[in-house]
Each structure stands twice: as C-alpha cells, then as structure tokens.
C-alpha cells in the first residue's frame, strides 16, 4: 500500500476518538417537571387577564371623572373665537368689583368689631372690699369746713379715708384752682400747759371752762377747748361768746361763709361690700369715747351754700362702655337767687349697685383680663334747712344734719358682660370672604347672561329670525 494513501475508515474513527477525548463536555439543559410548567403557564395567563381588566377599569374610571369636571377647558384659539364681549358685561364687571370691595371692607370692619353679651345670675360672692372713687366740687364751701366719711351699715368706718382724699381750693366765681392739692389730714392739736422752767404753771393759763382733766390744765386754743369738751362728752358751741379762744375761728368762719371760696375733693379708697354711705358734712371730725363725731361748729355751717357738682362717682374699676348716672350731676345751682338759705340742707342720694364682671377677649390670646366693677342707678332728694329747723324743734324728732349723703346698697344679682367677636376663628372669616366674592360673581354672571340672551332674542324678533 502506498504511503500516500490512508485508510479513511480508520482515520475517521481515530479523529472522532481524539476529539471526544480532548474537547470539553457540553452542559445539558435542566430538567423541568411537567407540573411546574403548567403552574407557570397558569400564572402568566392570570397576570395577562388582570392587566387587561385593570386597564379597562382605569379607562372607565377616568371617563367618569371627566364627566364630573366642572371646569371645562377650551382650546385657546376656539375660546378666543367663541368669546363674545359686551358693554353690559363690562359695566356689570365694574359694578361687581365695586360691590365686592365694599362688602369686603364691611366684613373686615365687622370682623374687628366687638359685641357685648350679657348674662344675669345670683351673686354668690360674700364679703370683700370694693374700690370707691368720688370727685365732687362744693362751689361755696371752703376746704377747711368740709369733711368726708364712709361708713357701712354695721357702723364700721372705711380705713384711711382722710389719707386718700385730696382737696383743692377753687375760686367760687371763676372755678379756677387757688392752691395746689393737699391731703385731707386733720391737724389735731394737743392740749398744752403753760409751765415755767421750775415746773410751776404760768399765770397766763386760759380756762377750759370746766372740762379740765386735771386741775391746772390750760386751753390756749379753740382746738384745746374742743378736745377737752370731747373727752367729757360735751358739745362745744363756738358761737358762744364766752369762749374767748374761739373768737378767731368765729371770724374765719364768718369770712368763709361769704361764699367766695369753694373746694374740690377727690378720694379713692376701699370700702366693704355692704350697704353704706358717703357723708360730706360741713364742720370737723373728732373722736370721743371711741366714736367718730361731727362738729357742725355752730350755726355758721347751717348757713353755708352746699350747692355742688358730682364729677365722678364709681364703685369698682371702670370698664369700657360703663355709664355712671351721677357723673356730671349739679345740685343747688337752680336754687340760687334771693332765697339763698334754700341751698343749705340735706342732699340725699340713693344709689342701687349692681355687681358687674367684665371679661375682655382677644382673637389671638383669648381671655385677656377680668374687671370687677359695679353699675348703679340713682335717685336724689333735697331737704331744705327750714325743714331741718322745724324737725329739730319738733318733739321726739331727730335733728337733720345738713350735708351731702350718698347711701348705696348692693343688689343680690350679678351681671356678666363678655366681649365676643362675630367670628369664632380666623378660618370662619376667610370662608366668609370667599363666600362674598363667589356669591357676587355668580349673581353678576346670571344677570349678565340674562341681559345678553334677552337682548339677543329681542334683536332676532325685530329682524324676524325668531319664529
């Protein structure tokens, strides 16, 4: 056999054998169970059907939402071509804007306003004090001859009334202030003794007219005699000429009684919440046997002109909108004339207090403060000096003391005054503004549509196009 010829069968078998031994083995595909294949096919089919159903439902939902759209949109070009502007529409637009501005300004003012709501109930507060403020002017009574006291129904005097009272001298003719204000403090003089250096009494020792506490006591002034009489429980009549120490006082009182000088009293003090009275009595106040007494200082004070003007009378702290009936009340001026004595007597005021609680509110901070006060109503009555004299001379009748007496009594009912704003919150105010704007624009649109279509139909009727 020639070397150039090779056995084809043997070579082919050798080649296949060498290839099988040298080449890498091929990866076989994983074996899948027939049941698993069926499950996968079922899931794929379910997902396909679900997606198709959801897509159909989504499209249906979108169509329903489009039907609910109350803000239809137009193509801009179509909208410009379809829009028809009229003069009446422009006039209605201007009128609507003016009305909206006017209503908005009114709503803002109403929002910032305050309403007062009042409630009435039984007053359960017991005891306590209340602040009393009084400002009164006596046109013809000098400051040295007028006193102020405050006493309740139990006979208890208010504390430190004199220390909280300020007096100002005024000119009776012009009403101008003569001197600066000064406190109403009674400068009580003490009884003195005239004693030598060696302890012996001086020869110049005025008599106390039987009111001496100890033998040798001296009364150098009218005030000394008055205090000595007070300790004895006696009443001193300075008009008695025999009392030499009171001669100067008689002269001063006669000059004061001429009515050329007046007095303004301003007092603010705490008084008990009980029935009581404010007493403006001419004369002086003194204490005897633990009791406060008024010295009318003879017949001179009974001739004083007690005409007066009540500038302010308040019980408690003032609150907004409070009205005091006696503020600015003048008494006695109408009685001026020939009968000058008619202005001397007893001026009686009867004041009925109604306890009041005022609550102030703010939209931002809520309850701001609470004011405890009193409202009141008042009546008055005047008893002239002639009737006082007749009463003093009549048997078994008490003498009427001239002066100004303000008797007050508390009501068992309390009033609660609350500040309230028209809108409970800022959100309600904003909603009201939106309602105003929307309402005016809607009504204006209806009116414009009515005018436009009516005019259009009238034109068609005139041209014969409307059958």
- List 348's β-bridge partners, or say none: 381, 405
pLDDT, residue 321, reads 85
Q: What is the DSSP letter of 30?
A: P
pLDDT, residue 305, reads 83
Q: Identify whether the C-beta of residue 418 lies closer than 8 Å to the C-beta of residue 119.
A: yes
Query: Where are the chain's structural domains?
Result: 86-112+424-463, 118-420
Classified as helix, coil or strand, 200 is coil
pLDDT, residue 180, reads 62
Residues of the chain with pLDDT below 70 are 1-41, 43, 45-60, 62, 65-66, 69-83, 179-204, 237-245, 247-259, 285-302, 333-343, 363-367, 386-399, 465-467
Provide the CA 21 distance to its chain's centre, in angstroms: 113
Q: Which residue has the tokens 């009748």?
A: 397
pLDDT, residue 112, reads 83
Q: Identify whether the C-beta of residue 317 lies closer than 8 Å to the C-beta of residue 131.
A: yes
pLDDT, residue 396, reads 46
User: Measuring CA to CA, how many Å separate 444 from each of 337, 421, 451?
Assistant: 72, 31, 11
Q: Which residue has the tokens 């794929």?
A: 44
Q: Which two tokens stand for residue 125?
A: 């507060």
Q: Identify whether the C-beta of residue 282 lies closer than 8 Å to the C-beta of residue 143.
A: no
Q: Burial code of 392-425, b = ≥16 C-beta within 10 A, e = fewer?
A: eeeeeeeebbbbbbbebebeeebbebbbebebee
pLDDT, residue 407, reads 95
Q: Which two tokens stand for residue 311?
A: 């500038």
Helix, strand and coil in the chain, % to nearest 5: 35, 30, 35
Q: Identify whether the C-beta of residue 184 lies closer than 8 Å to the C-beta of residue 265.
A: yes
E strand spans, 153-215? 165-171, 182-183
Interval 79-99: pLDDT, tens: 666 667 777 788 888 999 999
pTM: predicted TM-score of the whole model, two decimal places: 0.60
**Contacts of 248 by beta carbon, 8 Å cutoff, 6+ apart:** 222
Interval 158-169: pLDDT, tens: 888 888 888 888
pLDDT, residue 52, reads 65
């Amino acid at each position: 056999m020639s070397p150039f010829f090779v056995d084809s069968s043997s070579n082919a078998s050798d080649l296949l054998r060498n290839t099988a031994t040298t080449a890498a083995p091929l990866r076989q595909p994983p074996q899948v169970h027939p049941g698993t294949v069926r499950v996968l096919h079922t899931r794929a089919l379910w997902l396909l059907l679900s997606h198709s159903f959801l897509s159909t439902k989504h499209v249906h939902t979108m169509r329903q939402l489009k039907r609910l759209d109350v803000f239809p949109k137009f193509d801009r070009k179509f909208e410009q071509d379809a829009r028809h502007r009229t003069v009446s529409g422009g006039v209605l637009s201007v009128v609507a804007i003016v009305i909206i501005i006017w209503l908005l300004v009114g709503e803002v003012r109403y929002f910032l306003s305050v309403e007062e709501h009042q409630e009435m109930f039984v007053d359960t507060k017991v005891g306590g004090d209340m602040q009393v403020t009084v400002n009164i002017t006596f046109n013809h009574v000098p400051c040295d001859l007028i006193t102020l006291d405050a006493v309740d129904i139990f006979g208890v005097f208010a504390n430190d009334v004199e220390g909280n009272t300020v007096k100002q001298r005024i000119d009776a003719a012009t009403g101008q202030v003569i001197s600066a204000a000064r406190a109403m403090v009674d400068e009580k003089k003490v009884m003195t003794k005239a004693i030598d250096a060696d302890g012996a009494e001086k020869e110049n020792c005025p008599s106390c007219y039987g009111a001496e506490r100890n033998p040798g006591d001296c009364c150098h002034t009218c005030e000394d005699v008055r205090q000595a009489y007070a300790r004895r429980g006696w009443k001193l009549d300075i008009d008695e000429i025999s009392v030499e120490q009171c001669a100067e006082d008689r002269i001063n009182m006669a000059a004061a009684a001429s009515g050329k000088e007046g007095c303004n009293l301003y007092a603010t003090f705490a008084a008990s919440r009980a029935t009581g009275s404010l007493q403006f009595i001419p004369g002086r106040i003194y204490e005897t046997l633990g009791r406060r007494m008024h010295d009318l200082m003879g017949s001179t004070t009974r001739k004083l002109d007690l005409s007066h003007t009540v500038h302010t009378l308040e019980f408690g702290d003032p609150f907004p909108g409070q009205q005091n009936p006696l503020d600015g009340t003048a008494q006695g001026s109408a009685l001026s004339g020939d009968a000058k004595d008619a202005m001397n007597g007893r001026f009686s005021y009867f004041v009925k207090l109604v306890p009041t609680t005022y609550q102030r509110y703010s939209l931002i901070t809520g309850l701001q403060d609470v004011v405890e006060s009193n409202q009141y109503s008042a009546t008055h009555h005047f008893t002239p000096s002639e009737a006082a004299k007749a009463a003093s001379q009549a048997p078994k009748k008490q003498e009427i003391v001239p002066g100004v007496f303000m008797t007050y009594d508390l009501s068992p009912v309390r009033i609660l005054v609350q500040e309230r704003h028209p809108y409970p919150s800022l959100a309600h105010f904003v909603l009201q503004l939106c309602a105003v704007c929307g309402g005016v624009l809607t009504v204006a649109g209806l009116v414009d549509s009515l005018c436009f279509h009516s005019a259009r139909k009238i034109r068609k009727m005139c041209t014969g196009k409307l059958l």
